[in-house]
Chains A and B, each alone.
Chain A
Amino acid sequence: MANPRFDRLSDAKLVELCNSGRRQDAVDAFDSLYRRHRDYVTRVALRFSSDREIAADTLQETFIYLLRKFPPSGEGLVLSAQLRSLLYPVARNLTLTAVRRQRSDRDADVEPDQLPDPRTIDPEYENLAKAMAGLSDSHREVLLLRFVDGMRLKEIADALDIPPGTVKSRLHFAVGALRNRLGVE
């Protein structure tokens, strides 16, 4: 059962409890981390795949990966940035691996850009969705990481394992392209 007392704690404190807290505290702390970031990880998966089964598998595997970072199997986690910057690359890579595997199984040749959008688009967002779909994966990705996930340039660079300068140039291009497509000055 969820422990509401832990829901008020910061990610850093929950990670600390997972690292060295007593058994039940560690279980409750991890459960709080899971419930807090579950939707985020699912959304990240759905950015790269329209398949909800893949999203669910990614969700599970991402948190199993996180779980193994903690003792006794892992050495513990030091949170130097927000937890999302750690979860993002894990979820992204797991999803892309699953998509590649699925594509290989189906022997299909579908580029990620051509994947159908898993969302039922509200007409209100249709223009925006089309404009986003017109961006390349890498540009769409930095845009979402910066403006939706609220990551800083350094965190995006860490999450994508690319130089901060590359993040900045991609972001600059993506913002310009999106403004153009939406007709925003």
Chain B
Amino acid sequence: MNPEPETIELPGDIVERLERLDKSVSVLTPAVDRQVREAAAVHFAQRPDRVRSTSRRWAVVGTLAASLVAGVFLVRMQTGMEATMLANDIDGSGVVDILDAFTLARTAGAPGSQAEVDALIANIVALNGNPP
């Protein structure tokens, strides 16, 4: 409550009528509206829009960073999958099967290659759901 006007009051109905009387006039000001808006645009155009340009810059950096992370992730995922797949996919067919064992067997002669062939065959059998 404002204590100031307590000693100087007008009846509420008179105040209400005064307000209505004062507000009973309106002047349409479309030309002024436009001019004031234009003046404001010109006035504030002189102000550097630092916040906006900074946010844009960060948006660009953020997008690039996100793209980079996504790219690295995809490449690594793909490489990992390929590495997993290629671990036993000797002939590069995309499938680990008995043909890989034959391919490996054709390289026989190298030390330890027979053991590798045996291990590969055991793995293929396991992949097919049969116990080695």
Contact = CB atoms under 8 A, between A and B. Distances in A.
B29 A43 contact: no
Q: Is the interface of B mostly helix, strand, loop or mixed?
A: helix
B110 interface: no
B84 to A, nearest CB: 51
A118 interface: yes
Interface in A68-123: 68, 70-73, 118-122
Given A119-B24, A148-B22, A67 B43 contact: yes
B10 A175 contact: yes
Interface in A22-77: 22-24, 26-27, 30-31, 34-35, 38-39, 42-43, 46-47, 52, 55-56, 59-60, 63-64, 67-68, 70-73
B41 A144 contact: no
B50 A22 contact: yes
Given A146-B5, A147-B10, A24 B52 contact: yes
Interface stretch (B12-20, B86-94, B97-105, B119-127): B12-20
Contacts of A73: 43, 46
Interface of A: 18, 22-24, 26-27, 30-31, 34-35, 38-39, 42-43, 46-47, 52, 55-56, 59-60, 63-64, 67-68, 70-73, 118-122, 124-125, 128-129, 132, 143-144, 146-148, 152-154, 168, 171-172, 175, 178-179, 182, 184
Interface of B: 2, 4-5, 7-11, 14-15, 17-27, 29, 31-33, 35-37, 39-41, 43-52
